[in-house]
Amino acid sequence: MKARVTVMLKNGVLDPQGEAIRHALGSLGFSGVTGVRQGKVIELDLEATDPAAAEAEVGRMCETLLANTVIERWSVELI
């Protein structure tokens, strides 16, 4: 079973990487971009076969290691 974890900065947290991308896109002539946020995506191959148990386990991984929950929010999707 595979799981995809998406980790994004929470709204209100400054995202300098996203801002840098927005500026770079503007310089390249892509003028219709009003905001950019960058985050991480982590794809996990899991031995677990029960979807509910897998999702709970991945949630614990996010809280423990994958995300800094003070400034980041995470979501899990089984694929």
Please report how close the Cβ of residue 40 comes to a second copy at its closest, in angstroms: 6
Which position among 57, 72, 73, 78 is part of the footprint of a second copy (CB under 8 A)?
Answer: 57
Which position among 19, 46, 73, 78 is part of the footprint of a second copy (CB under 8 A)?
Answer: 46
Four-point Cα dihedral 13, 17, 69, 8, nearest 10: 100
Residues sharing a CB contact under 8 Å with residue 71, sequence separation 6 or more, in sequence order: 9, 10, 13
Work out whether 73 is an interface residue with a second copy (CB under 8 A).
Answer: no
Work out whether 78 is an interface residue with a second copy (CB under 8 A).
Answer: no
Please report how close the Cβ of residue 70 comes to a second copy at its closest, in angstroms: 19
Four-point Cα dihedral 20, 24, 25, 31, nearest 10: 100
